[in-house]
Structure 1
């Protein structure tokens, strides 16, 4: 399968502006309206009719989001990345259930099976809140430590 991974973990400098531009790009990609105008070449790029499957790689659990505070503490970056993406695209996800459009996530730097269990709870809560079929949100994980390999 052809896959494109939008990487909020390693592929961008996590400034607020970059993260928010990334979220706008994700919404446009999910809606099929994303374009890019290369001014130097005077060329416009847009999605083909047949597109790759979109995976989103949120930041790891260890990375905070200082622009959003919860009880005076920075929010967890991965949950901000997931939450914004899912919230702003849930109508499309609901409309395309079972059509292979996801949402799909690549979850980085798992160090313990508990982290995967937390993600499962996040996915289930998001599905229930949005009214989409349980199991619609899919994730694949990058296992970072040897002990985590044996826990999974």
Structure 2
């Protein structure tokens, strides 16, 4: 190995990331997001679920029944994608879709008892996955990290439609 090749590697032999890149919060967040997405998607798949399933079930449990459009707004799932997510959840008996008595042109979505039980299982799966993702941080640091992320997202506001 030449001295130039050695300079391009860290002490463990992996390619060295230039300090200029390692100090860019946007790049670090992007890399962490990619790793987090992979970990969460694979973990939820093992539990026969997807992130969107969890988002819809959590929104229904926390905020109560809602229309497809309302759920789209609560979860950030595009309306066009929401139909497919709800079809999957209805088919599995995790949510119920019924005509809105006040406006028969729209449906109201409600979480079922089976959906509540499934959500509790998914909460545990995600808790375990977050333990893996955040393993280097103490419980206090995890709380602080989540708080800082919330603050950044609240400051940034919603993504444009």
TM-score tier (shorter): under 0.3
Output the TM-score relative to the length of structure 1. 0.27
Say which one has the larger Rg: 2
Output the TM-score relative to the length of structure 2. 0.26
Q: Comparing both chains, which one has the higher relative contact order based on Cα–Cα distances under 8 Å and sequence gaps of 6 or more?
A: 1
**Structure with a larger share of its residues in helix:** 2
**Structure with a larger share of its residues in strand:** 1
